[in-house]
Every structure is written in structure tokens, then in C-alpha cells.
Structure 1
Amino acid sequence: MTDRDATAGLLVDYGGVLTGSVGRSFRAYERAHDIPKGTILELLLAAYRDDVGGDDLVASIELGRIPDEEFDRLLAARLADAGYAVPPRGIVERLFDGMRPAGRVWDVVAQAKEQGVATGLLSNSWGTTTYPRERLADVFDVLVISGEVGLRKPDPAIYRLALDQLGVEPEACAFVDDLDRNVDVARSLGMFGVLHRDDVTTAAALAGFLGVPLEL
């Protein structure tokens, strides 16, 4: 729970909302290793089309069941099976090298926090060493990272955990994510879901729901 009696909350995804495009970052890695565009996302993000909790590679790293080094080895093996040889070390780090903090949603979160809104990060992690912890701590009251709590979106349990840590009711909380499936679950729990497509639209939607001025 936060250290103040907030009545409204804001939960925000990390990759693709507070950073550059996940797809572009992956594509940079693919170009560097002569891998066809979209191959890695097709191999890994296909897990999102399956039921939550499956014993797949994405679930294993997002739930913190395997360390980065094991993920690197297993992904390298999958790529090798598909005909693409890559060094089996440092893959996670290189995949996300282009996914640096970017955009103005950082400013939106900071402004919301300054105006008494409880703020939280709710992120599915592919390794937990890629987050800019100090910068996140400046704008978020709580950090709920899948690999650290053993739950992942779109499991409703991780949303409830984040709400509990914020100390707000779902009807008083906004949730921002760039994946439809994750936003749909938030809405089903009673939250105000925002599918992030651009900073201006997201800021306007949040300002309207939270009832506070948010400027870009």
C-alpha cells in the first residue's frame, strides 16, 4: 500500500508505453543477426495466444521461473532449430537494448502523482535487470513486476495485487497498456482501461478519468 490515503490510482505498463517500440527493438536484433523480420516475436509472443500459465518459454521468464541466462540458452536453441545461429549469451539484454525510456507518459505519471494519484508500474518482465529502477522510483509509488511476484498479465491476480499495493478500488483506478488483451482484463475487473496508441490520446483519457490536469 502507498504511504498516503489516495482515492484514485494509475497503473501503467512499461514496454511500449514508457519506452520505444518493443517490435523495433527486436527488429534491430534480428537485423544484426540476419534473421527475417518478425521471427522472434512470432516465436515468443505466440504464447499470448495460449492460456495463461502454460509451461512455455515466455511464461517461464515472465513468471521468474528461469534466470536470464537460461532464457538466452533456450531461445538460442529455438532459433537454431529454425535455422538461425546466434550467440547463446546476452540475448535478453540485446533484445531490449533499443527499448529505452521514451515518450511523455513519464511526465503524465509524474503529474498525476504530484496531484495525489497513487501510481504503480504493472509490467511483464523478460528479466528484471533491464528496468531503470531509480527513474521508476521517482514517478511510481509501487512497482509490480511479473518476474518478482510470480504472476503475469493477463492473470487477474496480478491486477488485484497491484490494486492492493496501491490501496485503491478498481473503479477508481486507470490502467494503461499497449496490448488489447491486458486492457480487456483490467476493464473486466472494473478499472478504466486505456489502450495506449499515442501519448496525447492517453494523456487526454487519463485526465478525463482522474479529474486532474495533465499536460504534455
Structure 2
Amino acid sequence: MGPASGGDSPHPAFLHGDRHESHFSVGVGQVAGESGCGPPGPGREERSGPEDAPAKDPRQTAVQASPRVGVRIPDCLHLQLAALPVGRGLLICDPSRRGTRSSTAFHGASSPTSRNVTRIRAVLFDLGGVIFESPLHTIASFEAERGLAAGTVGRIVTEAGGEGAWARHERGEISTEAFERGLRDEARRFGVDLDVAGMMRRIEADVAIRPRMLAAVGRLRDEGFAVAAVTNNWKGLNAPSVAGHFDVVVESYLEGVRKPEPAIYRITLARLGVAPRQAVMLDDIGANLKTALKMGMTTIKVTDPLDALEELGALVGVRLL
């Protein structure tokens, strides 16, 4: 969930300037009633293929390794240290083969020989709610001010599902005007007269970067990790520029797929040139992380940004705070 933009380039205009027109998704349809790991929403038919192999994409670039010193890792991460790779990345257990623990990881040893260890080479970040402050707080305030029960907008979007106005707009299938009409019509089925345009203006006005999260992105790049932003979005919002901080930016409305559909993760991994088990995904929506986890990625749910950075730093062996 996060900002997006207009423009014809693969990385749209707002992401490259100081502030340009764009829009970002709130992910409210995935939040209502979720306990942190809800089922993926309806989506398009996905391509089949092995999830373990690095995806192919002609735009991907080679990822260079860099040596790493030893780092202290909490026991709770279930790290397997039977064999260690040379170069970038921390060894972690394959989620399906956990069982051994260690408290310290050292890099620069012999190449891995155990099947249940994997190097982390890339980190995928959601935008809204991770790199940016969560727009869900803005929606909650908007509901309270308009006398709506908490979670009303989320329930409306959830009920409409993957073919509702919100989801279709995030996939770039309908215009902003059609989105606003569609969401108003969906709200009326709940007996709600929803000021969609007013709500979206409020969301836009409240967009703000989390400086420490963005600084962590830069730190990861300095340490040789590939970093990507993967976001559900649409055109129209004035948002701060972030594209220069990432190696890859993948936006739902440009790709025609949205989280939690597996295709958007495959696209991102392909452009990074990594396999799912070589990647960590940060998102504030449990359903989005459920898909990533099922594909083989390590996941971190962002509730408190500092807690998430501490967890990520432990996973990759880089001090981020």
C-alpha cells in the first residue's frame, strides 16, 4: 500500500521530482476484520511456475556481493548456521525446515552446503504505512468527524471485493471519476453517503515520510542489498519523491495487478533478480504479507516502525537504528 503517480515512464513522474501528481492506496479493504494474516483478496488469474527460482526479467540488473562482519542475532530468529556464504546477506532458516538456533551469525565463511539456509539479498517495502505514515489513521479521523462508525470505509471496500471500485482503481482499470462514483454507490448499499472526494483530499494532505524508515533504505543500499518499493496506488496525489531511494519501484496501476495478488510480487522479484527466499517483505497489511510468506519470502508486519526496523536489522545483520 503506498503512493503512486501519473506519467508514461516505468517510474512515474511524482517519484522523481520534489512533489508531483500521484495517488496512493490505503489498503482499507484488506484491513477490515483482519487479525494480521487474512486471506488474499480476489485477483486475476496468475502465472504458474516454481517460486524458488529467481524470476526472469530483461530489466533486472546484477546484484554485487560485499563482505560482511559478524553480527549478534536474537535466538528467536531460528537461524541455521551450519554453513555460511561469502558475501552479502544473512543466513536464515527455510520456514518449512526450522528447528536449529544460534545467537551469532558471521559472514565470510565457506559457501553454504545445507539446503535449509538462504541468503537475504533484497528487501521489499510497502510505501503507505511503512515508508509513509499510514493513511488508515486519516480515514479513522475522517469517519469520526463524519459520524461514521469506526471501520465503515474498510467494510464497504471489503464487501465490494476484488472487482469493487477501490481494487479496480488500484489496478488502473477505471478513472478517478469512475472510482469516486463507484465507491459512493457501494457506500449507499450500507446506507452511507460517503464524500469520497473529500476523504481522498484528506488522505493526500496527510502524506508524510517516516525519515528513519527512509534512512534505513539508504543504509541497506550502502551495505549492498537491493531494495524495492511495491505499492498499491493510482494517479493524482501530490506526494514526496521517493524513487531515487530504491533500485526498483513497482506500482499496481501501472502493472495491472495489486497486492495481495502474487503477480505483483513476482514482477518485483524479477526486476530485482532474486528468488523469494532471498527477500524480506515489509508491509502493514497482514493479507499482503500472507501472500509473500506463502511464496517463500520472510515477512515483517509494520505496526511500530522502530520495532520493524529493529527486527529487519537483526535479520539482515545491519544496524538500522
**Residue aligning to 2:270:** 164
Q: TM-score, normalised by structure 1?
A: 0.83
Which residues of 2 match residues 81-92 of structure 1 at below 5 A?
Answer: 81-87=189-195, 89=197, 91-92=199-200
Give yes or no for the alignment of 1:93 onto 2:201: yes
| CA apart distance, 1:185 | 1.4
Task: Call closer, same or farther: CA 1:131–1:148 in 2, change over 3 Å.
Answer: farther
- The DSSP-based 3-state class of the residue aligned with 2:127 is coil
Q: Which residue matches 1:20?
A: 133
Contact 2:226/2:247 (8 A) holds in 1 = yes
Q: CA deviation at 1:6?
A: 4.2
Cα deviation, residue 29, structure 1: 2.6
**Distance in 2 of aligned mates of 1:131 and 1:193:** 29
Counterpart of 1:110 (choices 195, 212, 218) is 218
Q: Secondary structure at the match of 2:299?
A: strand
- Which 5+ residue runs of structure 1 have no aligned equivalent? none
Shift of 1:72: 1.3
1:196 positional shift? 1.2
Equivalent residue, structure 2, for 1:145: 251
CA contact (8 A) 1:9 1:118 kept: yes
Identity %: 28
| Per-residue deviation, 1:89 | 4.0
Task: Return the match for 2:170 from 56, 62, 65.
Answer: 62
Give 1:170 shift.
1.6
Which consecutive segments of 4 or more residues in structure 1 shift more than 6 A?
none
Distance 1:109 1:69, change over 3 A: same
Q: Aligned equivalents of 1:119 and 1:85: distance in 2?
A: 41
Distance 2:184 2:164 in 1: 15
When the two structures are superposed, what TM-score results if normalisation uses the length of structure 2?
A: 0.58
Q: Does 1:208 align with 2:310?
A: no
Look at both structures and tell me which one has the larger radius of gyration over its CA atoms: 2
> 2:306, 2:195 → 1: CA distance?
40
Match of 2:236 among 102, 109, 129: 129
Q: Name the counterpart of 2:305.
A: 199
Which of 78-87 and 66-75 deviates more?
78-87
Q: CA deviation at 1:173?
A: 1.1
Residue 35 of structure 1: aligned partner: 148
How many Å separate the matches in 2 of 1:188 and 1:99?
Answer: 31
C-alpha distance after superposition, 1:169-205 (max 9, x if no partner): 2222111011122112112212111111212221122
* In 1, Cα distance between equivalents of 2:232 and 2:238: 11
Structure (1/2) with the larger helix percentage: 1
Secondary structure of 2:154's aligned partner = helix
C-alpha change, 1:132 and 1:67, in structure 2 (3 Å) is same
Output the aligned Cα RMSD. 2.4
The question of 1:119 aligning with 2:119 is answered no
Q: 1:86 to 1:186 in 2, by over 3 A?
A: closer
- CA 1:117–1:209 in structure 2 vs 1: closer, same or farther (change >3 Å)? same
The aligned residue for residue 5 of structure 1 is 63
CA deviations over 1:89-145 (Å, ceiling 9, x no partner): 4543334432432352212112111221111111112x23337362x1231111111
Show the 5 A alignment for 1:179-198.
179-198=285-304
* Kept in 1: contact 2:139–2:199 (CA 8 A): no
- CA–CA separation in structure 2 for the residues paired with 1:192 and 1:58: 28
Residue in 1 that maps onto 2:182: 74
**Paired residue type of 2:304:** D
SS in 2 for 1:122: strand
- 2:13 is aligned to none
Question: Partners in 2 of 1:191 and 1:199 — Cα distance?
Answer: 20
Could you tell me which residue of structure 1 aligns to residue 281 of structure 2?
A: 175
2: CA distance, partners of 1:103 / 1:13: 15
Shift of 1:88: 5.9
